[in-house]
Amino acid sequence: MKTHRCIGIFGGTFDPIHFGHLRSALEIYEQFQCEEMRFVPSRQPPHRTPFASPKHRLAMLRLSLVNTPFILDTGEMDREGPSYSIDTLRALRATYKNASLCLIIGQDAFLGLPTWHQWEKLIQLSNIIVMHRSGWIIPETGVIPGFLKEHALKPNESLQNFSSGKILNQKITGLDISGSEIRNRIQKGLSPQFLLPETVWEYIKKQKLYDYLDKNAEIQPMGKILL
Ligand code: ATP
């Protein structure tokens, strides 16, 4: 059976990027001997408004990808309008005609797949690797379980033999970290250190993202903060 080179596509808001993203990407990169692992930050996620601007999210991603085997794919950042994964997959498929394209998403995102633009066409263009995420389980009935059953990779099959059309549930080292938790901590004046790369934390402090307040700044009696 023909073996295709594997191209991992790790999309997200990355608001901010953290070790939950980076660790799972590395495990998948190694497990499937991916030729590339592409991080694709969404400029305008269709279902939410990010807290940090595209410029800051991109800068944090750049910092975190230093000394990693990963590639920054700015395809969605360069496009105007809502960032649809289907457009990203079409663009990548035009470049990688025969590769095994693997869209990597967490269980939480996978459960929301039917709300994605042209979601049923995603599987015609790529495979999907669903990462286990703590606190999330796939129900036994419904649209998603049906979709999973129809496309599930069989135990005797290998993802590299399919350029598209297959779904694989992938166990990863569970790191219960999320962008929301990191933002909440910063807003409360707590440190998110060790949940994300140090360079990203330094950037957040410098740019005062997520309502970061410098606790070391001198507070005057009137409450004014000297920076
Ligand atoms: P938020 O809390 O702001 O919603 P998030 O941490 O879930 O953010 P996203 O940038 O939206 O991060 O996620 C990008 C992708 O990474 C999604 O497919 C998501 O399911 C997955 N992901 C995020 N955090 C983890 C984690 N800790 N472990 C595994 N997958 C994760």
Residue nearest to atom 30 of ligand 1 (CA): 106
- Compute the average pLDDT of residues 206-225: 72
Helix (H, G, I), strand (E, B) or coil at 43: coil
Give, for ligand 1, the residue of 17, 18, 21, 122 to mutate: max count of ligand atoms closer than 8 Å to Cβ. 21
178 C-alpha vs ligand 1 centroid, how far in Å? 6
Atom of ligand 1 nearest to the CA of 24: 29
Q: What value does the mean pLDDT of the chain take?
A: 93
Residue nearest to atom 20 of ligand 1 (CA): 106
Residue 180: predicted pLDDT: 97
Q: Tens digit of pLDDT for each residue in 87-127?
A: 999 999 999 999 999 999 999 999 999 999 999 999 999 99
Helix (H, G, I), strand (E, B) or coil at 119: helix
- Does any ligand 1 atom lie closer than 6 A to the CB of residue 177? yes
Atom of ligand 1 nearest to the CA of 105: 18
Q: Tens digit of pLDDT for each residue in 12-52?
A: 999 999 999 999 999 999 999 999 999 999 999 998 999 99
- Does any ligand 1 atom lie closer than 6 A to the CB of residue 174? no
Residue nearest to atom 21 of ligand 1 (CA): 106
218-219 and 225-226 strand pairing: antiparallel
184 C-alpha vs ligand 1 centroid, how far in Å? 15
Residue 216: predicted pLDDT: 63
| Three-class DSSP labels, 160-214 | HHCCCCCEEEECCCCCCCCHHHHHHHHHCCCCCCCCCCHHHHHHHHHHCHHHCCC
Residue 183: predicted pLDDT: 98
Residue 214: predicted pLDDT: 80
- Does any ligand 1 atom lie closer than 6 A to the CB of residue 14? yes
* The token pair that represents 174 in the structure block: 């569970």
Does the pLDDT at position 222 exceed 60? no
Domains of the chain: 6-171 (3.40.50.620)
Atom of ligand 1 nearest to the CA of 183: 3
Residue 218 banded pLDDT, cuts 50, 70, 90: low
179 C-alpha vs ligand 1 centroid, how far in Å? 7
Helix (H, G, I), strand (E, B) or coil at 103: strand
Residue nearest to atom 28 of ligand 1 (CA): 20
Q: Tens digit of pLDDT for each residue in 119-157?
A: 999 999 999 999 998 788 888 888 999 999 999 999 999
**Measured distance CA(122)–CA(143) in Å, rounded:** 15
